[in-house]
Amino acid sequence: MQNVETYPHLRNTRVKKCSSADLKRSVHISLQSNNGNSQFFDRLGFSLLITSTVAILIICSFYLMAKQPDRKAILMSFRDINLALEESYSESKYEEANPLVISYKLPSSFAAVRTDPRASSEYNQYLTQIRFISRVIQRVTKKPLGNNLAQIIVKESKKHGYDPLFVTAVIMAESGFNKKAISSVGAMGLMQLLPSTAKYIAHKLGAEHWKGHRPLLHDESYNIKLGVTYLKYLGNKFGDDKKTILAAYNWGPGNVERSIKRGSTKLPSETVRYRDSIMRNYSKWSSELRQQQVNSAAAKANLLG
């Protein structure tokens, strides 16, 4: 050790021995600090990579859209595309090799929008009906989600040549859009089908269509499919008169047939209220949708003009 007389400032300084434990602690703290810095820079780099990738995708998508010669396709909103994807998702197939992989396929009408004006008009009407019915469901249920149920209603109604707004009015009166509703007499689901009636209608479609009564509560598409088929069956029996169809749906087709044979037009008061409520909503919504379509057409004409 150096002489303290040579270095006076060391006179009162004590030399502290550094133990091996102290040395290890110091090295550990240093390594923790380095690891923290490394993690921070790794996260920063990952965030920058994600941000730049998204920016590049957005730029490329706008470039590709600008290159499209068909102006109608460009004017289609992202919400329209999203609805098409949602419909495709509901019909998607799981690949056998990997059950986690889903193959998406846009409806054929979606591709035709760009080349066929008639298909474009029909597809726009399809989307407009889905949006309108979705808003009706949201107003009644006070829940933000209604697109999936609206798509099922429109799809099944069109298959049987029924106005989706009429089917929507029936569902509202029957269950208030509660798919798990069960009546005091055992009617089940959105369209309040008795299991015996549902089984009869399913067998008219083919014996393989009957899945049992439980799916009537849990499978919205199945319930509406059988419900609309039942409306169609009643329409064939009573000449497509909506008021008579509704009376038969509520009171029973046998009761309505016997009443007609007797020459009576009298119905139970409950059935009359039921029928009139549905027809009132159907008329109101039809008027609102027509006005909305007129306003939309005028707005598009102004935009393109």
- Residue 259 maps to which CATH number? 1.10.530.10
Q: How far apart are CA 53 and CA 61, in angstroms?
A: 12
pLDDT in the model for residue 75 = 43
Q: For residue 52, how many other CB atoms are within 10 A of its CB? A: 10
Structural domain harbouring 223? 155-305
pLDDT band at 5 (very low <50, low <70, confident <90, very high): low
Q: How far apart are CA 124 and CA 122, in angstroms?
A: 5
pLDDT band at 72 (very low <50, low <70, confident <90, very high): very low
Q: How far apart are CA 60 and CA 66, in angstroms?
A: 10
pLDDT in the model for residue 170 = 98
Cβ partners under 8 Å of residue 170, min gap 6: 191, 227, 231, 246, 249, 278
Q: Is residue 146 part of a domain?
A: no
pLDDT band at 53 (very low <50, low <70, confident <90, very high): confident
What are phi and psi for residue 160, nearest 5 degrees? Answer: -105, 10
Q: Is residue 145 part of a domain?
A: no
Q: Is residue 34 part of a domain?
A: no
CB 186 within 8 A of CB 254: no
Active site positions, annotated: 174
Q: Is residue 148 part of a domain?
A: no
Q: Is residue 53 part of a domain?
A: no
The tally of domains found in the chain comes to 1
Q: Is residue 260 part of a domain?
A: yes
pLDDT in the model for residue 50 = 79
- Checking if the pLDDT of 270 tops 70, the result is yes
Q: Is residue 197 part of a domain?
A: yes
- Checking if the pLDDT of 161 tops 60, the result is yes
Q: How far apart are CA 167 and CA 157, in angstroms?
A: 7
Q: Is residue 226 part of a domain?
A: yes
pLDDT in the model for residue 120 = 75
CA-derived radius of gyration, the chain: 34
pLDDT in the model for residue 76 = 46
